[in-house]
Homo-oligomer: A and B are copies of this chain.
């Protein structure tokens, strides 16, 4: 299945919540600490409890790289655990000169087996093209991020009157000739989302910032509903995977996901 088919399949069932596997050994339930591989056992239980009603999984590479070889083993094993029909986003935020981006693309898509990736746009098309060359994968370009200092550069006004992130949005649209470019747009920016979502066209949108970062879910949903746009997924990481602390933690995560799914459905 292509990345596009996986995403469309879940969205057509009404699922729009992406489960973020930012697994931190210091935050997982205590009883797992005496397991041989606490992080992997945690991920396994979360995935089993959420796989039928998640829109996608987003794997934050940083949390695995931090643990070196063991972390990379866990990254590979976690990706292996995810059912084949669900989109796996490698949240790696890569981007480099062409010959290096080519290596990163091979790493994320072939070596690690992700269906999608997140990319820094700063270096321009050379840095994005080697990812886009994988036509059955989705490359999500950072347009407007969820963090406060998105204001430092992303929101700067250009000489032509547009903000930098709008230029990145426009360029992303122009790069989307093979229907495999998506964008990242922080849910913490509902005003910008209301205006610029009219220019997302066919690109799928990954919205981080709901949950721990306090993006407003209802505002985000209203914007997409008003335009009858379905091609969006909302990522929740910490707010979902750490919902429970006891042996039944995965049940709590499942309930939390269902709560989000119900909010999406009733919107």
Query: A72: which B residues are within 8 A, CB to CB?
Result: 68-69, 72
User: Copies per complex?
Assistant: 2
Query: A142: which B residues are within 8 A, CB to CB?
Result: 122-123
Complex CA–CA separation, A151 to B126 (angstroms): 10
Shortest Cβ distance from residue A85 to the other chain B in the assembled complex, whole angstroms: 24
Indicate if the CB atoms of A94 and B97 lie closer than 8 Å.
no
Query: A96: which B residues are within 8 A, CB to CB?
Result: 60, 62, 93
Indicate if the CB atoms of A100 and B149 lie closer than 8 Å.
no
Shortest Cβ distance from residue A24 to the other chain B in the assembled complex, whole angstroms: 8
CB neighbors of B among A39-90 (8 A): 60, 62-63, 65-69, 71-73, 76
Indicate if the CB atoms of A104 and B65 lie closer than 8 Å.
yes
CB neighbors of B among A191-245 (8 A): 208, 213
Shortest Cβ distance from residue A97 to the other chain B in the assembled complex, whole angstroms: 4
Residue A157, interface by CB 8 Å:
yes
Residue A246, interface by CB 8 Å:
no
Query: A126: which B residues are within 8 A, CB to CB?
Result: 147-149
Residue A182, interface by CB 8 Å:
no
Query: A121: which B residues are within 8 A, CB to CB?
Result: 122, 152-153
Q: Which A residues are closer than 8 A to B by beta carbons?
A: 22, 24, 60, 62-63, 65-69, 71-73, 76, 93-101, 103-104, 106-107, 110-112, 120-127, 142, 145-154, 156-159, 161, 164, 167-168, 171, 208, 213
